[in-house]
């Protein structure tokens, strides 16, 4: 039986979380989207700490770079350094177009770097293609038993 | 270097081997009201040591010394990066040597048997030095404030993008969700808001592009202009297809330039030629040829042209000659071109007549200029 893909979105902008969730809710595939708004929360979520003890293991992490408390690059390197988490694909989804951010993210093990487009039609297209590719076409590692 | 602890007295370094001549020079200055304290150096080592330790107002250097030449002091100062005026004080050397001293960087030349002229020579040398350092300070100040302004423009336009993205995206979402569900006025207002946000985005992006041109890191290297032009045309693909524009060009030269900036220049100029087209299908002719020490590029179009009185002001930022309804745009494109070309050491201008097309020309030096902190790559 195919389980519903789980997405963890890490973004401090509630508008982007709303919009992304809505676009995913309206797309063909079915996804569960969970969101946290800072880097420390993201790591707690992924490690099932505290209130996240029952949180599902995500199939895809969508990570903003500019985050409070622990920035996106730190979260990314924490994930990739943790044997239990390293296999989860991480898509960087950010406003930054700086080549330093792009290079650094890939060096830290990001699986994909997407820039948030400045207008609605492109934003919709990017989110839909991301979900279609990562949770449709791509073969993902087996989800860890909990 | 220590501050000048002389209480208003001049601090002078004499390059002189005759104690009597030292006394005569100082006396000549004092008689003219220039109270001076003098140190004496006879060798290049003593001289170097003293100028490193002390700050002198003026140096009086004898031309002939037993083991040294007074003009050597100019060389030492240059190596040490010090700007202290040197007045050569010497027995008669002949006109040729005197001229050589001045050409070599001495501020003045005074004969030992005409020391009455020394005070005025010293005063003038110090005046000139002050003018030089004032000028240098003003230039440094200007460069710093320019850099701050550019940094500000960069940060401002960069940080404006994020909130602007929110406004653009969500007004578009409003338009999509509620079009026809409110009333005609609401649709119109939402349309204004979306249009405004998208225009502001373009403006912010162009301002960012403009401020990027001024940032350090110009990568000057051998650049094939035919390829740069083609890259620019590729970026204009939609506009070219929609307008049916034809761009004619022969082989363009290979120049020393930052290739991505050159692409931008071609793109902006040809984009303008297409945008400001007349009733005819746009035809743009591009050529580049060597003239003396520079390349001259020409982009001639058959568009609406520019009134003669505006051929300079079109390069000024935000300057637009037409209403936004007729021709959209924000008046940054040509100022980006101007900034890029001038940064490469070239010039840009336009020759035009209303109704008879415009011919934009720009030059690039055949040998690339090297700017501070920037690289020239082969």
Distance (Å, whole) CA B172 – CA A17:
17
ipTM above 0.90, yes or no: no
Shared-domain flag, residues B224 and B356 = yes
**For residue B162, what is the nearest residue in chain A, using CA coordinates?**
A95
Does residue B161 sit within a domain?
Answer: no
User: Is B165–A118 a contact, with Cβ atoms under 8 angstroms apart?
Assistant: yes
- The beta strands (E) that lie in B16-160 are given as 36-41, 58-61, 86-90, 108-111
Shared-domain flag, residues B248 and B376 = yes
Does residue B196 sit within a domain?
Answer: no
Shared-domain flag, residues B108 and B226 = no
Higher pLDDT, residue B318 or A121 = A121
Shared-domain flag, residues B112 and B14 = yes
The yes-or-no verdict on residue B374 having pLDDT over 50 is no
Does residue B310 sit within a domain?
Answer: yes
A118 vs chain B: nearest CA distance in angstroms? 5
Q: pLDDT for B264-312, tens place per residue? A: 999 999 999 999 998 899 999 999 999 988 999 999 999 999 888 888 8
For CA atoms A25, A74, A59, A48, give the dihedral sign.
negative
Query: What is the set of domains in chain A, with CATH numbers?
Result: 6-136 (3.40.50.2300)
Shared-domain flag, residues B332 and B221 = yes
For position B266, which CATH number holds?
Answer: 3.30.565.10
Does residue B182 sit within a domain?
Answer: no
Q: pLDDT for B190-214, tens place per residue? A: 989 998 898 888 888 888 888 778 7
Distance (Å, whole) CA B38 – CA B23:
9
Helix (H) or strand (E) holding B11: strand B10-15
**For residue A94, what is the nearest residue in chain B, using CA coordinates?**
B162
Give me the torsion for CA of B90, B94, B99, B105, rounded to 10°: -20
The yes-or-no verdict on residue B160 having pLDDT over 50 is yes
Looking at B138, B156, B180, the residue that finishes a domain is B138
pLDDT band at B368 (very low <50, low <70, confident <90, very high): low
A95 vs chain B: nearest CA distance in angstroms? 7
Q: Which of A13, A95, A119 sits opposite B168 (nearest CB)?
A: A119
Q: Encode B245-266: b = buried (16+ Cβ within 10 Å), e = exposed.
A: bebebeebbebbbbbebbbbbb
Higher pLDDT, residue B159 or B245 = B245
pLDDT (0 to 100) of residue B350: 94
pLDDT (0 to 100) of residue A108: 95
Per mean pLDDT, which range of B86-95, B102-111, B150-159, B334-343 is the poorest?
A: B150-159
B201 interfacial to chain A (CB closer than 8 Å) = yes
Set of chain B residues whose Cβ sits within 8 Å of the Cβ of A15: 166, 169-170
Long-range CB contacts for residues B366-372, cutoff 8 Å, separation at least 24: B366/B255, B366/B256, B366/B290, B366/B293, B366/B294, B366/B295, B367/B256, B367/B293, B368/B220, B368/B255, B368/B256, B368/B257, B368/B344, B369/B344, B369/B345, B370/B220, B371/B218, B371/B343
Q: Encode B216-230: b = buried (16+ Cβ within 10 Å), e = exposed.
A: eebebeebebbebbe
Set of chain B residues whose Cβ sits within 8 Å of the Cβ of A120: 168-169, 172-173, 176
Q: Which of A95, A118, A120 sits opposite B176 (nearest CB)?
A: A120
User: Is B162–A95 a contact, with Cβ atoms under 8 angstroms apart?
Assistant: yes
B172 interfacial to chain A (CB closer than 8 Å) = yes
Give me chain B's average pLDDT, please.
Answer: 86
What pTM did the predictor assign?
0.60
Q: pLDDT for B1-44, tens place per residue? A: 444 445 678 899 999 888 888 888 888 888 888 888 889 998 88
Q: What percent of chain B has pLDDT over 70?
A: 95
Does residue B114 sit within a domain?
Answer: yes
User: Could you tell me the residue range of the domain that residue B338 belongs to?
Assistant: 217-378
Set of chain B residues whose Cβ sits within 8 Å of the Cβ of A116: 165
The yes-or-no verdict on residue A146 having pLDDT over 70 is no
User: Is A119–B201 a contact, with Cβ atoms under 8 angstroms apart?
Assistant: yes
Looking at B138, B171, B194, the residue that finishes a domain is B138
Q: pLDDT for B302-339, tens place per residue? A: 999 988 888 888 888 877 777 777 777 878 889 999 99
Q: Which of B161, B169, B198 sits opposite A123 (nearest CB)?
A: B169
CB atoms within 10 A of CB A37: 17
Shared-domain flag, residues B223 and B103 = no
A54 interfacial to chain B (CB closer than 8 Å) = no
Distance (Å, whole) CA B200 – CA B194:
10
Which of A120, A123, A125 is the best substitution to test chain B (most B C-beta atoms within 10 A)? A120
Shared-domain flag, residues B368 and B258 = yes
pLDDT band at B63 (very low <50, low <70, confident <90, very high): confident
For position B114, which CATH number holds?
Answer: 3.40.50.2300
Shared-domain flag, residues B237 and B331 = yes
The yes-or-no verdict on residue B151 having pLDDT over 80 is no
B192 interfacial to chain A (CB closer than 8 Å) = no
A123 interfacial to chain B (CB closer than 8 Å) = yes
Q: pLDDT for A55-106, tens place per residue? A: 889 999 999 998 888 889 999 999 999 998 999 999 999 988 888 889 999 9
B166 interfacial to chain A (CB closer than 8 Å) = yes
Does residue B89 sit within a domain?
Answer: yes
pLDDT (0 to 100) of residue B1: 42
Domain count of the fold of chain B: 2
The yes-or-no verdict on residue B376 having pLDDT over 60 is no
Does residue B366 sit within a domain?
Answer: yes
For residues A46-56, average pLDDT? 91
Looking at B85, B119, B138, the residue that finishes a domain is B138
Distance (Å, whole) CA B327 – CA A87:
52
Per mean pLDDT, which range of A31-35, B12-16, B372-376 is the poorest?
A: B372-376
B84 vs chain A: nearest CA distance in angstroms? 45
Shared-domain flag, residues B222 and B128 = no
């Amino acid at each position: 039986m195919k389980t519903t893909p789980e997405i963890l979105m890490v973004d401090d902008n509630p508008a982007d979380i709303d919009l992304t969730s809505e676009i995913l809710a309206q797309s063909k595939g079915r996804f569960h989207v969970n969101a946290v708004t800072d880097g420390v929360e993201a790591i707690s979520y992924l490690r099932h700490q505290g209130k996240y003890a029952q949180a599902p293991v995500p199939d895809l992490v969508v990570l903003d770079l500019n985050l409070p408390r622990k920035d996106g690059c730190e979260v990314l390197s924490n994930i990739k350094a943790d044997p239990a988490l390293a296999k989860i694909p991480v898509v960087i989804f950010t406003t930054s177009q700086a080549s330093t951010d792009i290079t650094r993210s890939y060096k830290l093990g990001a699986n994909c770097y997407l820039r948030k487009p400045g207008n609605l039609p492109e934003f919709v297209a990017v989110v839909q293609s991301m979900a279609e590719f990562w949770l449709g076409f791509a073969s993902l590692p087996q989800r860890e038993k909990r | 270097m220590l501050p000048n602890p002389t209480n208003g007295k001049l601090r002078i370094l004499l390059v002189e081997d005759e104690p009597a001549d030292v006394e005569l020079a100082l006396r000549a200055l004092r008689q003219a009201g220039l109270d001076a304290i003098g140190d004496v150096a006879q060798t290049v080592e003593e001289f170097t040591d003293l100028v490193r330790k002390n700050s002198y107002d003026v140096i009086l250097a004898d031309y002939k010394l037993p083991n040294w030449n007074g003009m050597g002091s100019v060389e030492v100062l240059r190596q040490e990066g010090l700007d202290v005026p040197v007045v050569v004080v010497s027995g008669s050397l002949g006109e040729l040597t005197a001229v050589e001293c001045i050409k070599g960087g001495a501020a003045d030349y005074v004969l030992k048997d005409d020391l009455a002229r020394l005070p005025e020579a010293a005063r003038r040398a110090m005046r000139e030095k002050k003018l030089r350092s004032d000028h240098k300070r003003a230039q440094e100040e200007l460069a710093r404030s320019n850099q701050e302004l550019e940094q500000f423009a960069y940060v401002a336009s960069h940080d404006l993008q994020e909130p602007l993205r929110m406004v653009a995206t969500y007004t578009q979402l409003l338009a999509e969700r509620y079009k026809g569900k409110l009333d005609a006025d609401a649709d119109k207002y939402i349309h204004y808001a979306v249009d405004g946000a998208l225009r502001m985005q373009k403006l912010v992006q162009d301002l960012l592009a403009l401020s990027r041109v001024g940032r350090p890191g110009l990568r000057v290297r051998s650049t094939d202009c035919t390829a740069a032009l083609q890259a620019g045309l590729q970026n204009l693909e939609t506009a070219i297809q929609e307008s049916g524009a034809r761009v004619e060009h022969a082989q363009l030269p290979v120049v020393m330039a930052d290739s991505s900036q050159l692409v931008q220049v071609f793109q902006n100029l040809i984009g303008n030629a297409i945008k400001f087209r007349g009733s005819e299908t746009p035809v743009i002719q591009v050529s580049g040829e060597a003239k003396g020490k520079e390349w001259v590029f020409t982009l001639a179009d058959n568009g609406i042209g520019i009134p003669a009185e505006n051929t300079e002001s079109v390069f000024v930022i935000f300057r637009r000659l037409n209403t936004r309804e007729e021709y959209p745009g924000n008046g940054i494109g040509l100022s980006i071109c101007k900034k890029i070309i001038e940064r490469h050491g070239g010039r840009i201008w336009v020759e035009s007549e209303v109704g008879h097309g415009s011919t934009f020309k720009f030059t690039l030096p055949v040998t690339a200029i090297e700017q501070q902190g920037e690289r020239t790559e082969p």
